[in-house]
Chains A and B, each alone.
Chain A
């Protein structure tokens, strides 16, 4: 329970942890937390993010806050990647392709989601490039092996997942008719590997940014790219919402058509609703974070 409480404590904003972290840790030591206290701790972390205490937020340097913003927005984008992966998995059934032909709005909204994701990935690459270059220079000039390792980690993680995915693809192409439990196991392992890679892709840049001394000017271009990334997230969310509305409003017709997706009115709509709720939540958090980060950067430039 205490370990879980410490994990929840780590979810509080950095400024909060600096000010109250040790005290809260001592309180958890004095009064070991039960399930209610854990739920309260989780709720407190959400409130601390949504309604930051002004004096606490001011305790962090503006450039420091802008760095935190970039890492929070990156976390939202990576989580959204999984939502889009679930969306494409849900719609890969050939019956959905048939439904998209019958309903142009389904086709258009599906394309919108993909276009939004491409924008997110492109904007992320644009944001990462100048920061990675600065980090590389710092690693070379300062002989910082730690920064070099941190820069290599996401590349290695993505390469490993790519290799696993490739092997899975090869295996599936050879066992198309009999996937069986080995296929399920390989698929689950790839999914877990993807999750691990996403965590590495979030944690390594975050740790790298903490090791660099970056002024507000150096953060301006990556920040602008992050705002474009936020726009991409909005497009993904809008596409998912339109898809859900189209599915729900035309469900009886689609379900009745011979090549329509099965159980479209129940299972699919429920799955898309969860995906939409997650996409809305992540986009809203990202927008709120970017808004606060932009304010910090404006303060830093003054």
Chain B
């Protein structure tokens, strides 16, 4: 089972664009390499449209049909908040898992 937070397409796309501007195909390739998630064309452009509408990413001018996108300042802030929240959940969950294992070993 893949961790659910790590498979949120919006976060994955924002995380991909955090490194540098990318166009559609480059985003799908990067997300696949980074998280093992295969974003379909409908999902990818649905996410890009929502993120662009919220001002979290913006399209860069391009003569090519393959338009690159980059993270805006708001996008970077939202991504950081999201990743920090995921980090807190991961940290709390892992420490609870470790203490329950210790308790189980102690009782055994």
Contact = CB atoms under 8 A, between A and B. Distances in A.
Interface of A: 5, 16, 19-20, 22-28, 30-31, 33, 36-37, 39-45, 47-48, 53-56
B67 interface: yes
A37 B28 CA distance: 12
A31 B42 contact: no
A27 B24 contact: yes
B41 A28 contact: yes
B24 A44 contact: no
B66 A24 contact: no
Interface in B70-91: none
A23 B66 contact: yes
B100 interface: no
Contacts of B45: 20, 23-24, 27, 44
In the complex, which of the residues B23, B43, B45, B65 has the most CB atoms of chain A within 10 Å of its own CB atom?
B45
Nearest to B48: A20
Given A44-B46, A47-B46, A23 B40 contact: no
13 contacts: A20-B48, A23-B24, A26-B65, A27-B25, A27-B66, A30-B25, A36-B40, A37-B40, A43-B42, A44-B46, A47-B46, A53-B50, A56-B49
Size bracket, chain B contacts: 20 to 34
A150 to B, nearest CB: 31
Contacts of A25: 65
Interface string B34-58: 0000101111111011101100000
Contacts of A16: 49
A36 B41 CA distance: 10
A23 to B, nearest CB: 5
Contacts of B38: 36
In the complex, which of the residues A25, A26, A33, A56 has the most CB atoms of chain B within 10 Å of its own CB atom?
A26
Contact of A55 (B23, B48, B53, B66): B53
Nearest to B25: A30
Contacts of A44: 40-43, 45-46
B41 A26 contact: no
Contact of B42 (A19, A47, A53): A47
B40 A55 contact: no
A42 B43 CA distance: 10
A27 B44 contact: yes
B53 A54 contact: yes
B53 A23 contact: no
Contacts of A27: 24-25, 28, 41, 44-45, 66
B53 A40 contact: no
Contacts of A36: 38, 40
A284 B64 CA distance: 39
A41 B53 contact: no
